[in-house]
Structure 1
Amino acid sequence: MFVSELRFDCFADTTISLAEQAINNLLEAWRANGQVLGREFAIALHEGSFRVRVLLPEDHSLANRHNSPWAKQAISQLSQAKLLAPREKLLGQDINSEISCSEPPSWQLLYTSYVHMCSPLRSGDSLLPIPLYQLPATFNGDHKQLIRWQTEWQACDELQMASATAAEFAALHELSDIDSDLFRRGWDLRGRIEYLTKTPTYYYLYRVGGKSREQELQRPCPRCGNHHWYQPEPLLELFHFRCDNCRIVSNLSWDFQ
């Protein structure tokens, strides 16, 4: 991933509130399309211009060819706030994050966690994140629904990792049960992505608990009952189960690793 600084210059008198609204609208459009990563963006007023630093999947993530209809509209509306289109200054590669996948994958999966800011779509060959703007829009011109699903998955993951309140069990249900709302929406998004990309796309089903390692190794696919989805050699050193029929991958329960 890369760090870039955007500079919004004024061509006439404006107000902070107008500028803030216009800039945030553009940043939110880019975020919904996977062009910028993260949830919060600090906007600074410095020497008559507005500046913001953003994290990008690739060094060309903000190229016009990647913009969604919403992003293009947001850029055109900057003039209403008396702002010019942003000037971009690429600061360099972020040393604390992963590089993005640059090769077409043979298969891919939806996988995220509360510590990840990158795309929730990963290459099945390398587990590297795939920038969402490289895909056809999943719904309504961008990937907002996929970003929303990722945000909710991460919130549940953080709750269950904290293990501090009764909310842990509700969060764990959303992450690991196929009858949860989070699974249903994520699995449907997975199917949409597979249809659009023509690439086998899987859903990561979180697994913790179980009575014993022996029973865990024999557990069937929770969706179709397939008893032959265990992988003697874990895929990507992480996924011990894969059901090709249901497009689900899962880990050996963390209690027995």
Structure 2
Amino acid sequence: MTMHAVRIDMRFTGPPPGDVPAAHLNLFLGALRKNGQVCGREWPIVMDSGACVTTVLTPAADSLDARYHGTYVRRCIADAQLAGITFAWSLIGEECDSAEACGCADPGAYVLFTTYLTLESPVRCMDCFGPVPLYRFTAPPDTEFHDVISWQSDYQSCDHLQMNCTVLEKAATRQMSVIDSALSAAGRACCAVLSERAGKPFYYYLYRDKGRSAALEAQRRCPACDGPWQLPARLHGCFDFRCDNCRLLSNVAFNLRASYMMTAPDQLPAPIAPCPP
């Protein structure tokens, strides 16, 4: 199961409203996005046979089912009906370039993870590493996933800057790498809220760009508790460090990955077990 492309039609039961019709559709799409039912924030809107039409990406084929609607989505639909507007959607097909979604019945834990290339949900299953739709973590009444989506947008902006290597590269990389940065603080706060809703551990990923040597990388300790956190083997092709006590993940510095993998085992410290939960 991957993300799906879905066509959404906004139709009018009478004459179109006097204001810009697309504004009503944008309100609906914004509510769906903040509820985790729509991924991304770019949706071209066109008029087709008297209806406003757009194409969106959804986490799954059934993501727009009414059972997943949050408070604001239901309110938006009700307000639209009073204005003589109805919404309908139809499945176009699978999105060919997205990650395989989580199909685990009962994941043991989750991680907050995204990149500048990612359109999927920023929550990943720690068992299969597949994206998990946000609406699975039912929000309390009158709340949305605004904090999680805002964090994802901020993180991806920083990732863009550090990948472009032109403007604010060092500042952006620090936000992604340091545990006490504003970005990390916001992300860990999201993890705490989501963990409470799910009743499962939520991990936060600290990006590691550059290091001085493979041996020093292997000696890194958890930046929160200073405990051992080196993993005996790379997890999901991404993570080399995990602290179960502080619920943090990280990687061997990208500039040293090749030399770290090629270093003879007897030249590196022995693998250290992660902190106990």
| TM-score past 0.5 threshold | yes
From 17, 41, 44, the equivalent of 1:42 is 44
Q: Does 1:131 align with 2:142?
A: no
1:128 aligned partner, one-letter code: G
How far off is 1:90 after superposition? 0.5
Counterpart in 1 of 2:256? 256
TM-score (norm 1): 0.95
Contact 1:22 1:77 in 2 (8 A): no
How far off is 1:139 after superposition? 8.6
- Mapped to 1, the partners of 2:36 and 2:47 lie a distance apart of 25
How far off is 1:154 after superposition? 0.3
Q: Secondary structure at the match of 1:216?
A: helix
Q: Secondary structure at the match of 2:85?
A: coil
Counterpart in 2 of 1:197? 198
- Greater gyration radius: 2
Q: Does 1:67 align with 2:94?
A: no
1:38 aligned partner, one-letter code: G
> Compared with structure 1, are the counterparts of its residues 205 and 90 closer, same or farther at alpha carbon in structure 2 (3 Å cutoff)?
same
2:202 aligned partner, one-letter code: T
Q: Secondary structure at the match of 2:24?
A: helix
In the TM superposition, what are the counterparts of 1:71-220 in structure 2 within 5 Å? 71-84=73-86, 86-103=87-104, 104-137=106-139, 140-165=142-167, 167-220=168-221
Q: Does 1:28 align with 2:7?
A: no
How far off is 1:82 after superposition? 2.7
CA displacement, residues 220-252 of structure 1 (integer Å, 9 cap, x when unaligned)? 1111101x2101201112100000111000011
> Compared with structure 1, are the counterparts of its residues 203 and 92 closer, same or farther at alpha carbon in structure 2 (3 Å cutoff)?
same
How far off is 1:138 after superposition? 6.8
Q: Does 1:222 align with 2:214?
A: no
Please, what is the CA RMSD of the aligned residues? 1.4
2:214 aligned partner, one-letter code: R
From 2, 8, 11, the equivalent of 1:9 is 11
Q: Secondary structure at the match of 1:99?
A: coil
Q: Secondary structure at the match of 1:122?
A: strand
CA displacement, residues 93-124 of structure 1 (integer Å, 9 cap, x when unaligned)? 11111232122211110010000010000000
1:217 aligned partner, one-letter code: A
How far off is 1:11 after superposition? 1.0
- Mapped to 2, the partners of 1:199 and 1:76 lie a distance apart of 34
> Compared with structure 1, are the counterparts of its residues 139 and 173 closer, same or farther at alpha carbon in structure 2 (3 Å cutoff)?
farther
CA displacement, residues 55-85 of structure 1 (integer Å, 9 cap, x when unaligned)? 010111011110110100111111344312x
- Mapped to 1, the partners of 2:18 and 2:97 lie a distance apart of 32
2:38 aligned partner, one-letter code: V
TM-score (norm 2): 0.88
- Mapped to 1, the partners of 2:140 and 2:173 lie a distance apart of 27
> Compared with structure 1, are the counterparts of its residues 51 and 16 closer, same or farther at alpha carbon in structure 2 (3 Å cutoff)?
farther
> Compared with structure 1, are the counterparts of its residues 140 and 159 closer, same or farther at alpha carbon in structure 2 (3 Å cutoff)?
farther
Counterpart in 1 of 2:263? none
> Compared with structure 1, are the counterparts of its residues 100 and 197 closer, same or farther at alpha carbon in structure 2 (3 Å cutoff)?
same
Q: Which sections of structure 2, spanning at least 5 residues, go unmatched?
A: 258-277
Counterpart in 2 of 1:232? 232
- Mapped to 2, the partners of 1:211 and 1:90 lie a distance apart of 50
